[in-house]
């Protein structure tokens, strides 16, 4: 099973360049069978650009989370502290195998009524239009 995450273009660029090897989240999906993340690059791009396998998930208090992930964070400590301000726990998704699409995909090619999620959304093997995402990536 996969989830779709909305990620800022700066962070997407750092993921694609291999600088950012962890994706941080204040909240995480309830389902534990999630193995893949579909990356929606937020506006002005507004497209599905890649997917990655989740190599691991770290849950901890922010200071311990930073200590474990700072090298692959792709962000500053100040940015991290602001993001997790007021939180007692945080999550880091370790980015495993990354598959970048040949061409970015407009989400409406896969979903009938697409609204970018604030946090995440579960993605079925085929979108509401019945097309597998891997097939779309090859178009």
Task: Give 32-53 pLDDT, tens digit per residue.
Answer: 999 999 999 999 999 999 999 9
Provide the pLDDT for residue 126.
66
Q: Which domain holds residue 52?
A: 2-137
Q: CATH number, domain at 36? A: 2.30.130.30
Q: By the 8 A CB rule, do 79 and 50 touch?
A: no
- Give the phi and the psi of residue 26 in degrees, each rounded to 5: -80, -30
Separation of alpha carbons 19 and 99, rounded Å? 15
> What's the whole-model pTM score?
0.91
Give the count of domains, the chain.
1
Task: Give 42-92 pLDDT, tens digit per residue.
Answer: 999 999 999 999 999 999 999 999 999 999 999 999 999 999 999 999 999
């Amino acid at each position: 099973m996969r989830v779709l995450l909305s990620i800022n273009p700066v962070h997407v660029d750092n993921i694609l360049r291999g600088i950012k090897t962890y994706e941080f989240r204040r909240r995480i999906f309830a389902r534990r069978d999630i193995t893949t993340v579909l990356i929606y690059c937020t506006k002005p791009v507004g497209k599905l650009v890649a997917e990655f396998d989740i190599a691991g998930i770290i849950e901890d208090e922010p200071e311990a989370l930073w200590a474990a992930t700072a090298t692959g964070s792709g962000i500053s400590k100040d940015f991290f502290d602001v993001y997790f301000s007021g939180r007692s726990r945080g999550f880091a998704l370790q980015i495993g195998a990354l598959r970048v699409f040949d061409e970015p995909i407009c989400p409406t090619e896969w979903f009938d009524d697409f609204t970018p999620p604030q946090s995440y959304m579960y993605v079925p093997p085929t979108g509401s239009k019945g097309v597998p995402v891997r097939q779309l990536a090859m178009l």
